[in-house]
Amino acid sequence: MNQSFDIAVVGATGTVGEILVQILEERDFPVANLHLLASSESAGSSVPFRGKNVRVREVDEFDFSKAKLVFFAAGPAVTLSFAAKARAAGCSVIDLSGALPADQAPQIVPESNGHLLAGLAQPFQISSPSPSATALAVVLAPLRQLLDLQRVTVTACLAVSAQGREAVSELARQTTSLLNMHPLETRFFDRQMAFNLLAQVGKPDEQGHVPLEKRLVTELREVLGMPGLKVSVTCIQAPVFFGDSYSVSLQLAAPVDLQAVNAALEAGEGIEWVEADDYPTAVGDAVGQDVVYVGRVRHGVDDSSELNLWLASDNVRKGAALNAVQLAELLIKDPL
């Protein structure tokens, strides 16, 4: 492929945006001009790309006809303000904020439902699902044929970076302060996050579900192409900087052969399968890696129609930036 493309990244100074720019470079994405966009706060700063410093500009002032493809990594409000404008200017959109309705921007994880891209009209508009749906979809995709999956029960233990830069600083500040025996002072989180687990991430609705939990259920069904799948989910906040972990229990219609499961996972795209004498962790394995780690593959204690798994994934890479760049790689196989 000799063609190259003008690309824009909205939220280029953020946790996801910075890594997204790095990944474009790492994977040698055919970028002609790179437009880095953020709010007025960091307009004027710069971000390194291919040995040069690229100046960050304000998204409000950007002319989207200058780009063929834009990544939205700056929160749902920013996507809602600018995505329609971008498309009207002929620019394809990959959204990482979860803001766009499924019928306007299908949720896609290449390893699970990448084939859907072929049916879309230009300029494209697609969503990269939440990190939780992405990690689960990568691991469940190769098991779909093998198992008669009745229910997925998952406790997602999310890193604080899921909530952006401020959450990362707050965990560091709280931890230092507690170790120095200073009284706790909370800023970003409304209570002690260091050496503690929080039972929810975000604000619950009347029924007690937080948006991330509802998104996980909808997105996982969509990405796996299993609209009737039962999904029980709890998202908790762990005192971990980067890297999500998932405790997953699958209920199956019939006993499952562990060897077949292990073989399917080992062969699965985008998966690093870890043998039973070891297990992966977010920090020790997943962070900085492109694959989703899976380990502790086992039956229930006395139920062979139950399959338990432990997943670890880099929430910022495969959970966001990498998946979005992979989508872009598939899109440019057809001219944008």
Sign of torsion over alpha carbons 203, 127, 250, 197: negative
Residue nearer to a copy of itself on the CB measure, 65 or 196: 196
Q: Which does 15 bind (CB under 5 to 8 A by kind): a copy of itself, ligand NAP, none?
A: ligand NAP
Pull the structure tokens for residue 318: 């495969």
**Member of 5, 7, 8, 11 binding ligand NAP (CB under 6 A):** 11
Least distance CB 233 / ligand NAP (angstroms): 16
Q: Looking at residue 282, what DSSP letter applies?
A: I
Residue nearer to ligand NAP on the CB measure, 78 or 194: 78
For every residue of 118-130, which 3-state class applies, written as one string? HHCCCCCEEECCC
**Member of 7, 24, 31, 38 binding ligand NAP (CB under 6 A):** 38
In angstroms, the Cα distances linking 233 to 27, 227, 249, 324 are 34, 16, 11, 24
Contact 273, 143 (CB under 8 A): no
| CA–CA distance, 185 with 52 (Å, rounded to integer) | 40
Question: Contact positions toward a copy of itself, by CB under 8 A?
Answer: 151, 153, 155, 157, 171-172, 175-176, 179, 191-192, 195-200, 204, 207-209, 213-214, 217, 230-234, 236, 238-241, 243, 245, 247, 249, 251, 276, 279-284, 295-303, 306, 308, 310, 312
Pull the structure tokens for residue 66: 């200058």
Least distance CB 5 / a copy of itself (angstroms): 38
Query: Is residue 17 within the footprint of ligand NAP (CB under 6 A)?
Result: yes
**Member of 31, 73, 235, 240 binding ligand NAP (CB under 6 A):** 73
Query: Is residue 315 within the footprint of ligand NAP (CB under 6 A)?
Result: yes
Longest dimension (CA), the chain: 61
Least distance CB 203 / ligand NAP (angstroms): 14
Least distance CB 234 / a copy of itself (angstroms): 5
| CA–CA distance, 199 with 212 (Å, rounded to integer) | 13
Least distance CB 255 / ligand NAP (angstroms): 33
Q: Tell me the window of 26-34, 161-169, 190-198, 225-233 that interacts with ligand NAP (CB under 6 A).
A: 161-169
Contact 122, 238 (CB under 8 A): no
Q: Looking at residue 286, what DSSP letter applies?
A: I
**Angle subtended by helix axes 131-140 and 211-224, to nearest 10:** 30
Q: Which does 50 bind (CB under 5 to 8 A by kind): ligand NAP, a copy of itself, none?
A: none
| CA–CA distance, 198 with 239 (Å, rounded to integer) | 9
Q: Which amino acid is at 6?
A: D
Residues forming the site for ligand NAP (CB under 6 A): 10-17, 38-39, 41-42, 59, 73-76, 78, 96-97, 131, 161-162, 164-165, 315-316, 319-320
